[in-house]
Amino acid sequence: MLARVRSATLLGIEAIPLSVECDLSPGIPQVLIVGLPDAAVREAAARVRAALRNAGFRIPPRRITVSLAPAGLRKQGAGLDLAIALGILAAAGEAPRDRLDRLLVLGELALDGRLRGVPGCLPAALMARREGIPEMVVPDGNRAEALAIRGPAVHGVADLLEAVRVLRGERTPDQPRELASAPVPPPGGDLNEVRGQAHARRALEVAAAGGHHLLMVGPPGCGKTMLARRLSGILPPLRQEEAIEATCIYSAAGLLREPGLLRLRPFRAPHHTISGVGLVGGGPGPRAGEATLAHHGVLFLDELAEFGRATLDVLRQPLEEGSVLITRGNRAVRLPARFTLVAAMNPCPCGQLGRTDRPCACTPATVANYRSRVSGPLLDRFDIQVEVPPLPLRDFENAPAGEDSAAVGARVAAARERLDREPAPPVEGEARRILHRAIRSLGLSARAHDAILRVARTIALLDGAASVGPAHVGEATQYRALERDPGSA
């Protein structure tokens, strides 16, 4: 007999519909899985046999063929275990088949028949909504995730026996509902903990308001990392569509740690030993990299010059296009990667360039070689480049506490709302003349010209101005530290 169960597999961060076809026929007892399964899917044969036996089901000694359609798409992961088990039971007459067309089934089986959570449940729920599938059967651990969107009704089951009761119509599904989000403190600490560094704090606010890429250059211990980690605390919460997209990414990567949708913007800070594949994604799957995990959030690269130059240069396309295109065989997967890039680096190998209390021991050639680890085209993509000088002890002890993240975040949110609902503020004639003089005197590129103009518009929005004036252009020009005085930054 033949039974068909509807399921899904992941391609990047997207769920692809699958038909799991199970056939029992005379022959040597075995389970044969066809349709380009990976190792985890092939091993489902052993898991499913043990789970069926330990759950008390008797399967006749037949040849069992499991076909995963479409056959040309590679299947991965253990999320097809439950669909295969239910298909075998339905084909053997141990479970009814009349409800199978209404259900999308996902879940990994333990040998005793219990169910473990699987990655990609939220993308599967979106796919079920798109395909018009009215109900889902998922492990209890994925229940809240599947209910987070308005889509199919959800059966959260603990084991194989409960899943069979769903097929028999003995369980009522849960309906999707919006989960309340508890208030969460800023993940990186509050901005009022940063003493002094008014110029860098202002640059951080401008970067948050306009989504500008930010580079901070300064000696060790001056507060670069501390500032960067507080950026996510002044960014507005994710909007609904952004939250769904970000949650799908974390669900597909198996990194979802809270029920429902993500509300805080992601903050990713990979180590400088990361590879290019780890940074932008890839592999046979392919899997999302740090650039995609930072989508709608912040990607922080500390000790920028310690990253491999080739590794950093793979970010140039995502920074321009907001996505990563990965081609494997005859398939291309586009992963979203629209993030704010924040980086920190020392001014020289010893880190003391520009300090008066600790003279720098590096030669000009050594400094130039150190700076060349980061390519010019990548540096040009940082709209804001600021020096973060060391703070003398007396200034550190006497500096008053600055504004907290809530106050700064309110201005950032207001500026972003203006940016969303209004056209970009026009540039006054005098402001444009100042901009052109700055471009000529500093020898900046056309990309730098556009960057200064974008930053100036953001500053005008933060100030509530109707147009971009000379002061806005002057401040924006100050945020090109490496081009204004490359020898001292």
Spell 194-205 as b/e; 16+ CB within 10 A means b: bbbbebbbbbbb
Nearest CA to 74 out of 28, 103, 52, 41 is that of 41
pLDDT, position 422: 86
Sheet holding 2-11, edge to edge: 30-34, 63-69, 14-25, 2-11, 103-105, 135-139, 153-157
2-167: CATH class: alpha beta
Phi, psi (degrees; rounded to nearest 5) at 444? -85, 160
398's CB contacts (< 8 A; 6+ apart) are none
Classify strands 108-109 and 115-116 as parallel, antiparallel or unpaired: antiparallel
- Each residue's pLDDT, cut to its tens digit, for the chain (489 residues) gives 899 999 999 998 999 999 999 999 998 888 999 999 999 999 999 999 999 999 999 888 889 999 999 998 889 899 999 999 999 999 999 999 889 999 999 999 999 999 999 999 999 999 999 999 999 999 999 999 999 998 899 999 999 999 999 999 898 888 876 554 444 555 678 898 888 888 999 999 999 999 999 999 999 888 899 999 999 899 999 999 999 999 999 999 999 887 788 888 999 999 999 999 999 998 777 889 999 999 999 999 999 999 999 999 999 999 999 999 988 767 788 999 999 999 999 999 988 887 777 888 899 899 989 988 999 889 989 999 999 988 776 666 677 777 899 999 999 999 999 988 888 899 999 999 999 998 888 888 888 899 999 999 999 999 999 999 999 999 999 998 776 554 444
> What's the sign of the alpha-carbon dihedral 432, 438, 443, 449?
negative
How many residues in the chain? 489
pLDDT, position 260: 80
Relative orientation angle of helices 446-463 and 429-442, to the nearest 10 degrees: 140
pLDDT, position 303: 94
CA dist 336 and 324 (Å) reads: 6
Q: Compute CA 420 distance to the chain's CA centroid, rounded to the nearest angstrom.
A: 22
Cα-only R_g, the chain: 28
CA dist 136 and 11 (Å) reads: 20
CATH topology match: 2-167 vs 191-421:
no
241's CB contacts (< 8 A; 6+ apart) are none
Phi, psi (degrees; rounded to nearest 5) at 50? -65, -40
> What's the sign of the alpha-carbon dihedral 171, 176, 178, 181?
positive
Note whether 176 and 150 are within 8 A (CB).
Answer: yes
Question: Mapped to the 3 state alphabet, what secondary structure does the chain carry?
Answer: CEEEEEEEEEECCEEEEEEEEEEEECCCCEEEEECCECHHHHCHHHHHHHHHHHCCCCCCCCEEEEEEECCCCCECCCCCHHHHHHHHHHHCCCCCCCCHHHEEECCEECCCCEEECCCCHHHHHHHHHHHCCCEEEEEHHHHHHHCCCCCCEEEEECEHHHHHHHHCCCCCCECCCCCCCCCCCCCCCCHHHCECCHHHHHHHHHHHHHCCCEEEECCCCCCHHHHHCCCHHHCCCCCHHHHHHHHHHHHHCCCCCCCCCCCCCCEECCCCCCCHHHHHCECCCCECCHHHHCCCCEEEECCHHHCCHHHHHCCHHHHHHCEEEEEECCEEEEEECCCEEEEEECCCCCCCCCCCCCCCCCCHHHHHHHHCCCCHHHHCCCCEEEECCCCCHHHHHHCCECCCHHHHHHHHHHHHHHHHHCCCCCECHHHHHHHHHHHHHHCCCHHHHHHHHHHHHHHHHHHCCCCECHHHHHHHHHCEHHHHCCCCC
pLDDT, position 184: 55
pLDDT, position 331: 77
pLDDT, position 185: 57
CA dist 318 and 321 (Å) reads: 5
Tokens of residue 229, six digits: 């980690």
pLDDT, position 180: 46
Domain map of the chain by residue range?
2-167, 191-421
Note whether 53 and 113 are within 8 A (CB).
Answer: no
Tokens of residue 219, six digits: 């000696």
CA dist 318 and 350 (Å) reads: 31
- The answer as to CATH 3.40.50.300 being correct for domain 191-421 is yes
pLDDT, position 231: 94
CA dist 105 and 141 (Å) reads: 14
Tokens of residue 95, six digits: 């479970």
Within 10 A of 446 (CB to CB), how many other CB atoms are there?
9
Classify strands 340-345 and 214-217 as parallel, antiparallel or unpaired: parallel
